[in-house]
Amino acid sequence: MNNSKCKVSIICAPCGSGKSLAGMLYGAALYGAAMKDNKNKDKDNKNTASGHKLHFNYICNGIQLQSQLQSDFPTASVMKGRANFECNYMPSLTAEDCVYETCPPQKKEMCEYKKHKITALLNPVRILNYAYILNEVNYIGQFSADTPLWICDEADILDQTLQNMIELRFSINMIKAIGKGIPKFKTPNAQNGQGLKLWKQWAGEVREAVKVELYELLKQLSNIDKKQTFQLERLTELNNSIKRTKRMLERINIFLNHVSEDWIFEEQKNSYGRVKAYSWKPLWMPEVFAEQYLWRHAEKFVLMSATFPPRQIVAKTMGIKIEDIDYLEIKSDFPVKNRPVIIADNPVDMRFKQIENNIQENKEKLLKTIDRILTYHKGQRGIIHTHSWKINGWVMKNRGVFKKRTGHVLISHKPEKDDKEKMQTRDIITKKFIEKQVNGLVFVSPSSGRGLDLPDDLARFAIICKAPFLNLKDKQVSQRLYRSDIGKLWYKISMILESVQMMGRIVRNRTDWGKVYIIDLALIDSIAKDRKYWPEYILEAVEVE
């Protein structure tokens, strides 16, 4: 990390290899050097050029991992989003609903969000999450200027976080509220490319309408007596509307200035098949957006994960030149005998077409194989990665049979409509699984391949039911796959990296032990045919049941 002259250093190291500690030590070493340099060059005790190098941000994916890191590094400050702090003035609200102007002075001083934020800004070491830091540096303006170093954990998901930031999404409700009907030809390529031209005309009209709406909202805000507490609800509503309108104006400007035929257009539908929104996103990450939303906010980035694609794919997905990337891959020093990856006897072809064509046969074979593995691990805890809700349903509907035959108790979470609700539900069940000290407990999930730490007796086995290929119903995924050779490679490697993440949920230290079982033929084929893309420490652990 220290020797690299590149803007981005990638550290690809196995799960449980101490990446978090290494990242913290590197940041602390730079901080110590900066402090020494500051004392030598800034004897007048002024914040000169060297003084800005006295902080670093350690960034991870999600609140759960932030809490885990806080227990490991108690001197660091953890900062979370406004919605995680209750308002002292109005307990029914959170800091996200705050209308600061109406708050009495004594209450402002007691604001938990403000106190936590000030503490974090003053602390040389901050532990933040991706959603919070990207919002802060791009829209609030803090946690950036004084921070030359970002250490990013689980950074292989950072590309998707960036994609989500620049996706242009226009909901039907928003379109109705503005009063501008959508273009006659919806798809960009309609009428020999006239579709996109019509969308641009529409966006220009919408921009003018949004400007008028923003002006009216600001005018209403200026006319409210901010000292009157009875106006609080209206003030909160106006502030939230102004935030949404400003964001909409920013997105309209991006649309007008950057959207081209290469961008992917998609009609997003609800569970009844009705269109709920129209979205636009680039095929690959444009460098201009990556620079604007990420790379300009620090001098140096250290990206750490157990899994990273090759440099040429990182460059495409994260909008950075390949020569600005350094890449280091570290082998596992865990004993191979402690972490076997077992190809299950009588594997199942879990490809979508095969499942649909031979649904009962494949279902029975899968459940029989799981039953055999559970029987071998009687009394032990484990995790079953299903990758799809269909397979998750098969396994959970058979939980009574498993309990009767093997003694295992299976628990899972339910699919929810929205990603935030889904995450909360999963986190609740995950917490229950970790805290409930019961032998034979098994966590079943289609979406827990990352961020889950199950050392020692928390889990002695992991079962991977299906190769975690990306969903081809996603237009961005399908167009990347079919448009170019690098897209084909990206699709293949994405599955491999997600599989490695699943395997890494158990066996978290050198003395830990556990077995990973692979049931899907597609995953077995990949290990056999695409060996050069699999980590060596995985290949050396593969054995046949």
Percent helix, strand, coil in the chain, to 5, is: 50, 15, 30
Per-residue pLDDT, 133: 92
Per-residue pLDDT, 358: 77
Per-residue pLDDT, 238: 84
Q: From CA 73, how far away is CA 24, in angstroms rounded? A: 9
Answer with the residue of higher pLDDT: 242 or 433.
Answer: 433
Q: DSSP assignment of 168-200, as one string?
A: EEEEHHHHHHHT-PPPSS-STTHHHHHHHHHHH
Q: From CA 467, how far away is CA 469, in angstroms rounded? A: 6
The answer to whether 8-165+286-329 and 336-544 have equal CATH topology is yes
Q: Say if residue 49's pLDDT is above 50.
A: no
Every domain of the chain and the residues it spans: 8-165+286-329, 166-281, 336-544
Answer with the residue of higher pLDDT: 31 or 499.
Answer: 499
> Which among 457, 310, 321, 447 has a CA at the least distance from the CA of 384?
447
DSSP type of residue 86:
B
Q: Say if residue 100's pLDDT is above 90.
A: no
Q: Say if residue 53's pLDDT is above 60.
A: no
> Which among 274, 267, 293 has a CA at the least distance from the CA of 170?
267
**Burial state string for 215-232 with b = 16 or more CB within 10 A and e = fewer than 16:** eebeeebeebeeeeeeeb
Q: What is the rounded average pLDDT of the residues 463-489?
A: 95
Per-residue pLDDT, 48: 39
CATH superfamily for domain 336-544: P-loop containing nucleotide triphosphate hydrolases (3.40.50.300)
| Per-residue tokens: 426 | 């999963």
Q: What is the rounded average pLDDT of the residues 356-373?
A: 90
Q: From CA 534, how far away is CA 492, in angstroms rounded? A: 11
Residue 77 confidence class, pLDDT cut points 50, 70, 90: very high
Residue 371 confidence class, pLDDT cut points 50, 70, 90: very high
- For 434, what's the count of Cα atoms within 13 Å in the CB-facing half-sphere? 14
Residues 17-21: contacts with CB under 8 Å, at least 24 apart: 17/306, 17/330, 17/332, 17/333, 19/153, 19/304, 19/305, 19/306, 20/58, 20/69, 20/72, 20/73, 20/153, 20/304, 21/72
Could you identify the residue written with the tokens 């799809």? 388
* Contact by Cβ (8 Å): 303, 158: yes
What confidence tens digit (pLDDT) does each residue in 255-288 have? 999 998 889 998 888 878 899 999 999 999 999 9
* Contact by Cβ (8 Å): 57, 149: yes
Domain 8-165+286-329 class, CATH top level: alpha beta
- DSSP β-bridge partners for residue 57: 126, 150
Q: What is the rounded average pLDDT of the residues 471-480?
A: 93
Phi, psi (degrees; rounded to nearest 5) at 58: -105, 120
What confidence tens digit (pLDDT) does each residue in 189-220 have? 665 667 888 899 999 999 999 999 999 988 88
Number of residues that this document lists for the chain: 545
